[in-house]
Amino acid sequence: MAIGDLAFLIPLLPALAFVLTFFLGKKLPNGGAIIPIAAITISFVISLLITMNLLQNPEEVINQSYSWFAILNIGVLVDPLAAVMLTMVSLVSLLIHIYSVGYMSHDRSQSRYFAETALFTASMLGLALSDNILQLFICWELVGVCSYLLIGFWYEKPSASSAAKKAFLTTRVGDVMFLAGIVILFSDLFRIFNGTIPDGVYILRFDEIFTHIPEIAAMNANILGMEVSHITIITLLFFGGAIGKSGQFPLHVWLPDAMEGPTTVSALIHAATMVTAGVYLVARTFPMFMAAPSSLLVVAYLGAFTAIFAATMGIVMNDLKRVLAYSTISQLGYMMLGLGVGAAIGAEAVGISIFHLINHAFFKALLFLCAGSVIHAVGTHDMRQLGGVAKVMPITAVTMIIAAFSLAGFGIPDTIFGFSGFFSKDPIIESAYLFGSSSGMWIPYLLSITAALLTSLYIFRLVFMTFFGKPRTDYGGHESPASMTVPLSILALLALVAGALTRTTFYEFVSETFVNDFVQMDIPALADIGGYHLASHAGHEPMLILWMPLIVAVAGLLVSYLIYGLKVVNMDSLVSRNNPVYKLLYNRYYQNAIYTDFLSVKVIYEGFAFAGHAIDRGFDWTVNWISDLMIESGEALRQFQTGVIQTYATAVIAGVGLLIVLIKVVMEVI
Amino acid sequence: MIPVELYIGLAAIIFSIGLYGFMTQRSGIRMLMCVELMLNSANLNLVAFSSYNADLTGQVFALYSIALAACEAAIGFAILMAIFRMKDTINLDTFNVLRW
Amino acid sequence: MLNDEVSILFTPMKVLTSVYNFFRPRIIGMIVAFLFLAVILVSVFFTSWPSVEQIPQNVADQSNIEGIGVLIFTDFVVPFEILSIVLLSSLMGAIYMAKGDGNQ
């Protein structure tokens, strides 16, 4: 029995763990944490073995499809892309679960926590190994529900429950777009088949979708006088879904607020389970994006813009977790940029983007768990009250610094020396350069290199403010227990070496996602459908471009060391409410004012309230009119009920007489 | 031999008189009398048709219905007495608890 | 003088008023009763009653009392018995109701 036959167990075991923990967790020690940990461990082992197998012969992807109903199916697809996702998700989730045992030990509803995280992991694993877009969508929605439950885990806090609602509603905007994309795709495929689908063909399976890309691309729709290809519409709608889940620019507002949940949940959302779903969706449907160059452009520009937009806000935040949240948004922007520049480098874009996703998962989970460790020990999020934590929490400090170096992307080009973040971020920036040189659009490159500088700046600001210097307030800290430091160490090791060890194999491995015995995609041919040509592959950039990311990272480190480490520059004049730039950044570009106060409250809430009121009035008027009519006619008619027998008798006799006359007349007529 | 139409016509006239009385009179006793009148017009019909058909059953039933009319009258007067005791009048206009 | 004139002048008015006062509460009943009568009379007199073969009357004994008595005590004896019970019970009911409670 091949290990691939067990692939369906990967999401099923955590789902089973959810049920068991939910019902039995309260009776077990630690809220029944052992059940999801065991289940996810098995999932991790299976996914690791499958990945090993796939590495040897990447052609033999695992695909099992079963007819679900009509022309839809459920199935398992483990190709290189899914395999690395599965391994990453199960590993990070496993570590976070182990860490949570310590972190959540004081919480009353531990069992609910572990049940929900198990379901979260299960749905994300299910999402990763779906072989059709509908199953992917179902898991996608499950992920959304779980994020709602977990962000609002401490639902007694009003801020937590409103953050949960915000997350759910914001991602829902994207979900609706995704669903619309699926519907359009389904109707297009149905039309291609002329409504007669042969047996054994499941039209929403990825291989069917990809085979019919040229036909879909040939369909045109007329939108506002412009001829737009259906493939562009569908991919843009899919990307809309990805924007919502992955926190890209217009719909990123939920992500910082998601900090209201437990820190471990933030780690889970930011690293492993939720925000990567959008990137994964774009990577999974990448051949479609290849055939739609305008969509790829949107992806690239929006990714680059999000990267710098979030990084600028990260600089001024004082909340430990909020800095990390904006960092996540920024890094997701990088991943989207990496996919968007696929217009220049083809399928390799999936490789580098997913590589960054994996590495980011490790170091971002690490950052969050370190922050959680600090918060757990110290009891405050506010960096201004911290400082010198390194003395009391050495392990946490060291792992945090490793993660920070990884995030900032330290490493020496063309060698194997470097933190894992370097090996994934560097190629993205280089690809952006290639994209610029082949298409003449330099904006993504410029934005991404500036964002790299800002990234280095904000993460070392965090490190210096939190771990070095003198304590600013009196806090009693202690190092966290082993259940928390062991996952930290494992993640630190991964953040340190994973990139260096796997980089070349990884690109090639994931880039082969679309050429195997499940799908055979000719990426350059798809580019031809889109009407453009792929540029040459990465690696021929000028020396300066190769070293540029490192230079800006070091520059960021130095600047933040000067400002926050040595305090040679007095920031007090800069950091004040009178400085318009600082004010703009500190108020997060007035997003709250725009989204919550204006869009939600003024437009949607009050607009809907007004419309609802008007409709309500309309209904009221109609209903009241009908009832008034009834009452008045009743008033009029009840005059006949005199209560005097004679009246009734008269009426009866008159009626009988009339009846006789009528019958007579009718008989005569007949 | 008197033709049957005349019997029926007579019965109809008596019935109409009873009807008119029932509809216009306000006194309970008069109304009861009118009801008797209508009942007797029906009896007249029964007998007339019995004779017309040469079948005695109709006449037997006329007898029965006379007996029933006696019952009805007895009960009716008893009710009227109860009403009188309640309202100090047998004017049925005032007895309109069934009114809206 | 004046009174007489006035009374003479208003006598037709008085008659009309009294006529009006007589008819006003009865008019609906009158109309309905009259129309009903008309309907029935019309339908009775415009029906052609088939002339049935008259059973030869027993000239010797024209009375039919004997026949009725025989019928009552043969074919219709059960209704007769029931009728007796109905009469008795209605008698009792009437006495009970007319007596009232606690009057005597």
CB A319 within 8 A of CB A382: yes
Q: Which helix (H) or strand (E) holds A65?
A: strand A62-69
Report domain extents, chain A.
3-586, 589-639, 641-670
Place of tokens 């003088």: C1
Query: CB-based contact (8 Å) between A664 and chain C?
Result: yes
Return the H-helix or E-strand segment holding A62.
strand A62-69
State the pLDDT at residue B12.
Answer: 92
Q: Which pair of structure tokens corresponds to residue C71?
A: 């019928």
Is the Cβ–Cβ distance between A78 and A61 less than 8 Å?
yes
How close is the nearest chain B Cα to the Cα of A632, in Å?
Answer: 14
What is the amino acid identity at position A256? P
What DSSP line would sit under B70-97, residue for residue? HHHHHHHHHHHHHHHHHHS--BTTS--T
Q: How confident is the model at residue C61 (pLDDT cuts 50, 70, 90)?
A: low
Q: How far is B24 from chain A (nearest CA, A)?
A: 7
Q: Using 50, 70 and 90 to split pLDDT, how confident is the model at C85?
A: very high
B5 touches chain C (CB under 8 A): yes
Specify the DSSP element, H or E, that contains A617: helix A607-637
**A72-78 and A62-69 beta bridge pairing:** antiparallel
Across chain C, what does the average pLDDT equal?
78
Residue holding tokens 């509908």? Answer: A134
pLDDT at res. B33: 92
Would you say residue C29 has pLDDT above 90? no
* Whether B31 and A650 lie within 8 Å, measured CB to CB: no
Residue A288 host element (H or E): helix A286-290
Chains touching chain C through at least 3 C-beta pairs below 8 angstroms are: A, B
Q: Inspect the interface and report whether the beta carbons of B12 and C44 lie closer than 8 Å.
A: yes
From the candidates C32, C34, C35, which should be mutated to test the interface with A, based on the most A CB atoms within 10 A?
A: C32
Using DSSP's 3-state secondary structure scheme, residue A274 falls into coil
CB contact under 8 A, B75 and C28: no
Q: Which residues contact A154 (CB under 8 A, 6 or more apart)?
A: A160, A260, A261, A262
List Cα–Cα distances, A300 to A81, A428, A528, A581, B31, in angstroms: 20, 11, 19, 26, 100
Identify the pLDDT of residue C78. 92
Query: How many CB atoms are closer than 10 A to CB A203?
Result: 22
Task: Check CB contact under 8 Å for C33 and B1.
Answer: no
Residue A258: what pLDDT?
79
Max Cα-Cα span within chain A: 118
**B12, B52, B74 member nearest C91 (Cβ):** B74
Closest to A641 (Cβ–Cβ): which among B24, B26, B100? B100
Question: Would the CB atoms of C43 and A660 count as touching at under 8 Å?
Answer: yes
For residue A369, give both structure tokens: 């768990």
Give the pLDDT confidence score for residue C59 in this predicted structure: 54
Q: Are C71 and B56 an interchain contact pair (Cβ–Cβ within 8 Å)? A: yes
Nearest by CB to C29, from A650, A656, A661: name it. Answer: A650
Q: How far is A654 from chain C (nearest CA, A)?
A: 6
Tokens of A175: 């979900």
Q: Is the ipTM of this complex over 0.85?
A: no
- Rounded distance, CA A343 to CA A186, Å? 26
Two tokens, residue A669: 């007529």
Give me the CATH code for the B4-90 domain, please.
1.10.287.3510
Cβ-contact A318, A258 below 8 angstroms: no
Buried b (16+ CB within 10 A) or exposed e, A494-527: bbbebbbebbeebbebbbbbbbbebbebebeebb
A46, A7 Cβ separation under 8 angstroms: yes
Q: Which residues of B touch A (CB under 8 A)?
A: 19, 22-26, 31, 92-93, 96-100
Is B29 near chain C, with CB under 8 Å?
no
Q: Is pLDDT at C1 greater than 60 in this prediction?
A: no
Burial C84-99 (b: 16+ CB within 10 A, else e): eebeeebeeebeebbe
C54 touches chain B (CB under 8 A): yes
pLDDT of residue A187: 86
- A565 in Cβ contact with A469 (< 8 Å): yes
3-class DSSP string for A557-596:
HHHHHHHHHCCCCCCCCCCCCCCHHHHHHHCHHHHHHHHH
Residues of chain A neighbouring C28 (CB-CB closer than 8 A): 650
8 Å CB contact of B31 and A643: no
Rounded Cα distance, A527 and A189, in Å: 21
Integer Cα distance of A670 and A236 in angstroms: 74
Q: Please state the φ and ψ torsions of residue A107, each to the nearest 5 degrees.
A: -85, 145
Q: Which residue has the tokens 């029935």?
A: C40
A 10 A CB-CB count for A63 gives 21
Q: Please, where are the H alpha helices in B1-100?
A: 4-24, 28-53, 57-87
Residue A643, by phi and psi: left (phi above 0), alpha (psi -120 to 50) or beta?
left
The answer to whether A465 and A564 have CB atoms below 8 angstroms apart is yes
Is A311:A458 a contact under the CB 8 Å cutoff? yes
Q: Which residues in chain B touch residue C34, judged by CB atoms under 8 angstroms apart?
A: 16, 20
B12 touches chain C (CB under 8 A): yes
B neighbours by CB contacts (3+ pairs under 8 Å): A, C
C28 contacts A650? CB cut-off 8 A: yes
Q: How many residues does chain B have?
A: 100
> Is the Cβ–Cβ distance between A498 and A87 less than 8 Å?
no
Partner-chain contact A641 B22, CB within 8 Å:
no
C-beta separation of A109 from A82 below 8 A: no
Instruction: Quote the pLDDT of residue C60.
Output: 57
DSSP, collapsed to helix, strand or coil, labels residue A515 as strand
Residue with structure tokens 């392990």? A395
| Per-residue pLDDT at A394 | 80
Run means of pLDDT, 10 residues per run, chain A, 670 residues: 76 88 80 85 89 78 78 82 86 86 79 88 89 88 88 85 85 89 87 77 81 81 77 88 84 80 82 82 85 84 87 81 85 87 77 85 84 78 73 81 84 75 82 80 84 86 79 67 78 78 74 72 71 61 74 81 70 62 68 69 80 90 92 86 78 86 84
pLDDT tens per residue, range B45-63: 999 888 888 788 888 999 9
CA B91 → CA A647, B32, B79, C2, C95, distances in Å? 14, 12, 13, 41, 22
To test the contact with chain A by mutation, choose from B30, B90, B96 the residue with the greatest count of A C-beta atoms within 10 A, namely B96
The one-letter code for the residue type at A586 is Y
CA distances from A198 to A63, A71, A348 (A): 20, 9, 34
pLDDT at residue A450, rounded to an integer: 86
Q: Do A654 and C43 touch (CB under 8 A)?
A: no
Query: Picking from C29-33, C81-85, C88-92, which range would have the lowest pLDDT averaged per residue?
Result: C29-33
Contact A20, A96 (CB under 8 A): no
Instruction: Write the DSSP string, A446-491.
Output: HHHHHHHHHHHHHHHHHHHHHHSS--SS-----PPPHHHHHHHHHH
- Contact between A230 and A184 under an 8 Å Cβ cutoff? The reply is yes
